[in-house]
């Protein structure tokens, strides 16, 4: 099977849906001539024209609001926020409008909008461009939240998100854009709300998503040299959450280490830990649930300091060994 980058997989998904459905269009800052801040939309303006690849002013409030309005009128907008941190500029449009209008109108309207955005750190982009804000999104009823870790998952999940009749926050960890992976040329989609076992194991469950998936896989391979068989469960979708997959994995391994790039304090891992603790699988555990996340501070610009803030293979390995 061919290998393409994460960015190419995202672009393919958008192009295929633009060709399939005339109601799909794409809007955001620098997405046309420039090809997007991370090169994701290169060539799309040439194929689809300015009516469907819409360059916007630097006003997230305006163009996210326009996306919500377009979705209400039957279109299927893909809206790109250049950095996920910029949600602070247009938070009302997302939280008070997109997420709630279907409920406020008793199901008479829907908001089939995808908000694509580059999330997380690892690029030295400092405190205002490096955050992982997924727990903010998942706390809002009415929003779906997806965080794929591979090109294959990114393409299949994005196509499903575009076809979904609800607003979907699609988080693309920016260091993954150049990562290559196998992606079939044939048409396929992946359902939202299903986790994926990236590595089967029997001694401990590493429950994770996004950039941390590969870090957990690398750590699992290192642990295997010492006879420790770690399972890596990629959540892929945070809302809806595949709680059944989490509980099955934990009941099998009887140990759980939750890993994410966001700050550990009040991060999404707390929800995962609560799901385990409120289920009978709690009584299967041989050790307390461990969480590995970023330290509770703004993300530094300095690469040396940034590397100290986020989870590392050493911290993940230490958490696993504590469980054992």
**How confident is the model over 184-205, as a mean pLDDT?**
97
For the segment 47-70, what is each residue's pLDDT rounded down to a tens digit? 999 999 999 999 999 999 999 999
Whether 22 and 167 map to the same domain: the answer is: yes
Whether 226 and 116 map to the same domain: the answer is: no
Instruction: Among 157, 182, 207, give the residue marking a domain's end.
Output: 182
Whether 115 and 159 map to the same domain: the answer is: yes
Q: Look at the alpha carbons of 279, 223, 217, 182 in this order and tell me if their dihedral is positive or negative.
A: negative
Query: What pLDDT score was predicted for residue 33?
Result: 93
CATH code (residue 224)? 3.40.50.920
Instruction: Among 182, 217, 239, give the residue marking a domain's end.
Output: 182
**How confident is the model over 256-261, as a mean pLDDT?**
98
Query: What pLDDT score was predicted for residue 164?
Result: 97
124 lies in which domain range? 3-182
Residue 190 belongs to some domain of the structure: no
Residue 188 belongs to some domain of the structure: no
Is the predicted pLDDT of residue 322 greater than 90, yes or no?
Answer: yes
Residue 295 belongs to some domain of the structure: yes
Whether 19 and 140 map to the same domain: the answer is: yes
**How confident is the model over 175-195, as a mean pLDDT?**
97
Told to judge if 260 belongs to the known catalytic residues of this protein, a careful annotator would answer: no
Residue 281's pLDDT band, with cuts at 50, 70 and 90, is confident
Whether 67 and 146 map to the same domain: the answer is: yes
Query: What pLDDT score was predicted for residue 282?
Result: 87
Whether 74 and 223 map to the same domain: the answer is: no
Whether 39 and 166 map to the same domain: the answer is: yes
Query: What pLDDT score was predicted for residue 211?
Result: 96
Query: What pLDDT score was predicted for residue 278?
Result: 93
Whether 171 and 253 map to the same domain: the answer is: no
Catalytic residue among 54, 76, 116, 129: 129
Within 8 A by CB and 6+ apart from 237, the residues are: 144, 145, 146, 147, 157, 192, 193, 194, 195
Is the predicted pLDDT of residue 280 greater than 90, yes or no?
Answer: no
- Identify which of 56, 15, 14, 16 has the alpha carbon closest to the alpha carbon of residue 32: 56
Instruction: Among 153, 182, 211, give the residue marking a domain's end.
Output: 182
Whether 17 and 159 map to the same domain: the answer is: yes
Whether 131 and 39 map to the same domain: the answer is: yes
CA 10 to chain centre: 12
Q: Which residues pair with 24 in a beta bridge?
A: 76
Whether 175 and 209 map to the same domain: the answer is: no
Residue 189 belongs to some domain of the structure: no
β-strand 3-5 against 180-182: which pairing, if any?
A: antiparallel
Instruction: Give the percent of the chain with pLDDT over 90.
Output: 96
**How confident is the model over 132-159, as a mean pLDDT?**
97
Are residues 205 and 254 in contact, defined by beta-carbon separation less than 8 angstroms? Answer: no
> Hey, is 204 helix, strand or coil?
strand
In 10 A of CB 37, how many CB atoms?
16
DSSP state of 150: S
Residue 268's pLDDT band, with cuts at 50, 70 and 90, is very high
Peptide bond into 240 cis (omega under 30): yes
CA distance 203 to 220: 11
Residue 79 belongs to some domain of the structure: yes
**How confident is the model over 220-228, as a mean pLDDT?**
96
**How confident is the model over 202-226, as a mean pLDDT?**
97
Is the predicted pLDDT of residue 1 greater than 90, yes or no?
Answer: no
CATH code (residue 45)? 3.40.50.970
């Amino acid at each position: 099977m061919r290998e393409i980058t994460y960015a190419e997989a995202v672009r393919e998904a958008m192009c295929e849906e633009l060709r399939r459905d005339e109601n799909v269009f794409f809007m955001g800052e620098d997405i046309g001539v420039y090809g997007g801040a991370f090169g994701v939309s290169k060539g799309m303006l040439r194929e689809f024209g300015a009516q469907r690849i819409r360059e916007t002013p630097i006003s997230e409030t305006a163009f996210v609001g326009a996306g919500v309005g377009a979705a209400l009128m039957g279109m299927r907008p893909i809206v790109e926020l250049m950095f996920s941190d910029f949600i602070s500029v247009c938070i009302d449009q997302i939280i008070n409008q997109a997420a709630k209008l279907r409920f406020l109108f008793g199901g008479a309207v829907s908001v089939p909008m995808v908000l694509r955005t580059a999330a997380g750190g690892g690029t030295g982009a400092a405190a205002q461009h490096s955050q992982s804000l997924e727990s903010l999104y998942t706390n809002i009823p009415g929003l779906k939240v997806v965080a794929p870790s591979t090109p294959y998952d990114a393409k299949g999940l994005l196509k499903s998100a575009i076809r979904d009749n609800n607003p979907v926050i699609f988080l693309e960890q920016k260091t993954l854009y150049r990562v290559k992976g196998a992606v079939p040329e044939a048409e396929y989609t992946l359902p939202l709300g299903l986790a994926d076992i990236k590595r089967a194991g029997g001694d401990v469950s590493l429950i994770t998503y996004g950039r941390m998936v590969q870090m957990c896989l690398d750590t699992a391979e290192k642990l295997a040299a010492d006879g420790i068989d770690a399972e890596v469960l990629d959540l892929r979708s945070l809302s809806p959450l595949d709680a059944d997959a989490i509980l099955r994995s934990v009941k099998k391994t009887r140990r759980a280490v939750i890993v994410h790039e966001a700050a550990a304090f009040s991060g999404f891992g707390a929800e995962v830990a609560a799901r385990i603790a409120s289920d009978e699988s709690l009584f299967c555990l041989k050790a307390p649930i461990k969480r590995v996340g970023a330290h509770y501070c703004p993300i530094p610009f300095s690469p040396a300091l940034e590397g100290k803030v986020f989870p590392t293979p050493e911290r993940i390995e230490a958490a696993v060994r504590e469980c054992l």
